[in-house]
Amino acid sequence: MENRSSNGYPPEFYIRMEHTRRRTVITFLILGSVICLSFYLLLYSYISVFTLALFCAFAIVWGLITLSEYREISNWEQITRIVPYFEKAVPGVDTFFNSGHSIARNYTKLDDIANKWGFPPLSDYGFEDDYLNETELHMTGKLKWYDPEQGLVTINNLLDHLDEINDASERIKIKADLDRLKFKLKEARDLGVRFCFHLRIDSGYTGLEFDNRIGRYFPTWQDQDPSLEV
């Protein structure tokens, strides 16, 4: 696959995109084969017209679901973000839903700045995910946690060298995202909670994912007041 990491986003972004495209092609090949086989079986009276209709209806529904997932690729750049993930809930500003988009978009530039000036880049803290354990995405599901103090070194240095981002509007957005990260990591440091970075390509967070995750992106009402837990 073409190495497109120089376009700005982390390499994992393009790996997932390619994975989704490949999965879409395979799905439609399977569905096409199922429909052709169904017509063949109908031709030789192995199945009824009703059974054929069921097969076709199933194939159409599955195909539409797959197609909708593929079409979402065009929106990936609007929803992709790099966010902190903590061992346990950390209070403070939101760094999950409305933050991290500019950092993801300028990931390569920010890592280049870090490498140029000799401080740890953002890539040193991610992007293994305990929920997305997929070999094709080069994820092992084995998390490595980091001291927030280490992350603050990177964030503070990036803030000091933001003048190397030529686009003024992007520079403002990156600073806002980095300031949020800085505040959150300070909270984590004070609480003694370790972190790592995740690459999120979505706009939501399901209860199933919440229940199956080891760490936390944000505090829930139970985290804020355990006495309210039912």
Q: Are residues 38 and 89 in the same domain?
A: no
Q: How many CA atoms lie within 13 A of 57 on its CB side?
A: 6
Q: What is the pLDDT along the chain (230 residues), one digit of tens a residue?
A: 334 444 589 988 888 888 888 888 888 888 888 888 888 887 877 878 888 788 788 888 888 888 777 777 778 888 999 999 999 999 989 999 889 999 999 999 999 999 999 999 999 998 888 886 554 445 555 789 999 999 999 999 999 999 999 999 999 999 999 999 999 999 999 999 999 999 998 877 778 888 888 899 988 765 655 444 44
**pTM flag (> 0.95):** no
- Whether 173 contacts 162, CB under 8 Å: no
Q: What single-letter DSSP state applies at residue 44? A: T
User: What is the model's pLDDT at position 162?
Assistant: 96
Q: Are residues 114 and 212 in the same domain?
A: yes
User: What is the model's pLDDT at position 140?
Assistant: 56
What is the domain extent for residue 69? 9-74
Q: Are residues 87 and 183 in the same domain?
A: yes
Q: Are residues 190 and 127 in the same domain?
A: yes
Q: Which of 97, 201, 185 is nearest to 146 (CA)?
A: 185
Q: Are residues 61 and 100 in the same domain?
A: no
